[in-house]
Amino acid sequence: MWIFLRKAVRLSAIYLYGATGEILTEKSGHLNLGTPGIMCMGAIGGCLGVRAYVGTLSSLAQMNGFAVVLIGIICAFLFGMLGGLIYSFLTVTLRCNQNVTGLTLTTFGAGLMSFVLSSIDQTGFSEASEYFRMGFVNGQDLDWFSTLFLNYGTLVYLAIAIAIIAAIVLKKTRTGLNLRAVGENPATADAAGISVGKYRYFATLTGAGIAGLGGLCYIMDSLLGTIDYEVEAFGWIAVALVIFSIWKPDLAIVGSLLFGILLNAADAMQILNKGLIKTLPYVVTVIVLVITSIINKRETQPPAALGTSYFREER
């Protein structure tokens, strides 16, 4: 039972990264459907980073756990940001359609991932993964508390920390207030002296970096350092999770856990035909989407300017 929950939590971290990143992005008014692609790019960055680090070592025994985790995280973040940069450049600077740009980014990111990673030398990845998965308490026979709370890798704690920080920033700081204003009503934000473009770039780049960590988390935490190209599917679940958590990172923590449990339940219950169970997160999301639109409460609606470009001299 505890093992099952632990597994669900590990899985949920991936969604949480994607969702937190996407929430930040959407709060600025960018409906970034490129998030799955950005997660792929994060995975590429993480793998390339770890690979580059391993390349400098003469033997795997020299590997410094702290260094490898840090390099992986930084590289994944930077590559995610690169995806975000492409997206923001096209949508903010060149004012392209957001949906179209996002979908292209997803195709491109997923393609790039299998293109780059299919030929990468994976030496040292499983060792690196062990460092990524090292928790406060390690070992086989742990009590329930340690299993459930202390035995996760860095990336899982980081995901929750980032989500909490994002929630606080959005709710409790002026930066968050300004960001929400940009997503709700860019003309007003602009009139209040907030640079809409800058905030959108800033939010999208940060969000993309965070989403990029999701890709890294998948490879290094869930897959134990092997490579698989399912990241895109995780990305779409993350987009769904944003709706499910009604654009609140703190709710996304709960939501991701629920999604993690739902998806993990299929494996745990040993059901042969998992097709329908795997649709559950999407079904639940649709239900939430419908319910919030029927209730039509202002606070639970998507940011009002979601999906629209902003250009000041438009008349």
Partner 1 sequence: MEKTVAIELKGITKTFGEVVANKDVNLDVYRGEVLSILGENGSGKTTLMNMIAGIYFPDEGQIFIDGKEVVIKSPKDAFAHKIGMIHQHFKLVDVFSAADNIILGEKAPRFDMRAEVQRVKDEYAEENKRFEEYDESEHPGALAYLQKPKYHSNAQLNLKLMSLPFEEIGRKIKFNWLSRNRVKAVQSIANRFGFQIDLKKKIYDMSVSEKQTVEIIKVLYRGADILILDEPTAVLTPQEIEKLFDVIRNMRDSGKSIIIITHKLNEVMEISDRVAVLRKGEHIATVNTAETNEQELTEMMVGKKVSLNIDRTLPHDVVDRLIVKNLTAVDHEGVKVLNNISFEARSGEILGIAGIAGSGQRQLLEAIAGLYKVNEGEISYIDPFNNNEKVDLRSKTPVQIRELGVRLSFVPEDRLGMGLVGNMDLVDNMMLRSYRKGKSIFLDRKAPKILADKIVEELEVVTPSTHTAVRKLSGGNVQKVLVGREIAASPTVLMAAYPVRGLDINSSYTIYNLLNEQKEKGVAVIFVGEDLDVLIELCDRILVICAGQVTGIVEGRRAIKEQLGLLMTKTDVDENQISIDELTIKQETEQGGEEQ
Partner 2 sequence: MKSVTGKPSKFDAFVDKLKKESPIHIAKRMDAPKWLPWVVRVSAVIVAIFVCAIVCVGEGGSFGGFFTELFRASFSTGRRVVNLLQEIAILLLIALAVTPAFKMKFWNIGAEGQVLMGALMSVVCIKYLGTYVTNGSMSDGGLIFICLIAAIVGGAGWAVIPAIFKAKWNTNETLFTLMMNYIATGIVAFSIVAWVPAGSFTLGILPQGHLPNVGGYPYIINIIVVAILVVLVWVYLRFSKHGYEISVVGESVNTARYIGVSVPKVIIRTMLLSGMLCGVAGWLLVNGASFSITTETVGGRGFTAILVSWLGQFNPFAMVVVAFLVAFLTKGGSQLASTYNFGGSFPKIMTGIFFFIFIACEFFVNYKLKFNFEHLRKEKNQNECVADDVIDVQAEDDNKNNDATESNMDEEVTD
Interface positions with partner 1 (CB under 8 A)? 171-178, 180-181, 184-185, 187-195, 298-299, 304, 312-313, 315
Least Cβ distance, residue 305 to partner 1 (angstroms): 10
Q: Report which secondary-structure segment, H or E, holds 133.
A: none
Q: Report DSSP state, residue 302.
A: P
User: How far from each other are the two terminal CA atoms of the chain, in whole angstroms?
Assistant: 61
Task: Specify the residue, 95 or 172, whose C-beta has the smaller distance to partner 2.
Answer: 95
Instruction: Supply 268's token pair.
Output: 């745990």
CA distance 160 to 180: 21
Give yes or no for residue 304 binding partner 2 (CB under 8 A).
no
Residues belonging to the chain:
315
Which of the choices partner 1, partner 2, none does residue 299 contact, using the CB cut-off of 5 to 8 A by kind? partner 1
Fill in the per-residue mask, 10 to 49: x = in contact with partner 2 (CB under 8 A), - = not in contact.
---------------------x-x----------------
**CA distances to 17, 72, 156 from 143, in Å:** 28, 30, 19
For partner 2, which stretch binds (CB under 8 A), given 137-145, 201-209, 211-219, 286-294? 286-294
Residue 180 site contact among partner 2, partner 1, none (CB < 5 to 8 Å, cut-off depends on kind): partner 1
- State the residue for tokens 């998030």: 35
Residue 285 token pair: 């999301």
Under rule CB under 8 A, residue 270 binds partner 2: no
> Which of these segments, 6-14, 128-136, 158-166, 277-285, binds partner 2 (CB under 8 A)?
277-285
Dist CA 44 CA 50 (whole Å): 10
Tokens of 171: 């709710």
CA-based nearest residue to 15, from 204, 181, 263, 201: 263
Which single residue is written with the structure tokens 């930040």? 24
Binding window for partner 2 (CB under 8 A); candidates: 62-70, 115-123, 156-164, 255-263: 115-123
Task: Name the residues that contact partner 2, by CB under 8 A.
Answer: 31, 33, 86, 90, 94-97, 99-101, 103-108, 110-115, 118-119, 233, 236-237, 239-240, 243, 272-276, 278-279, 282-283, 285-286, 289-290, 293-294, 296, 302, 307, 311, 313-314
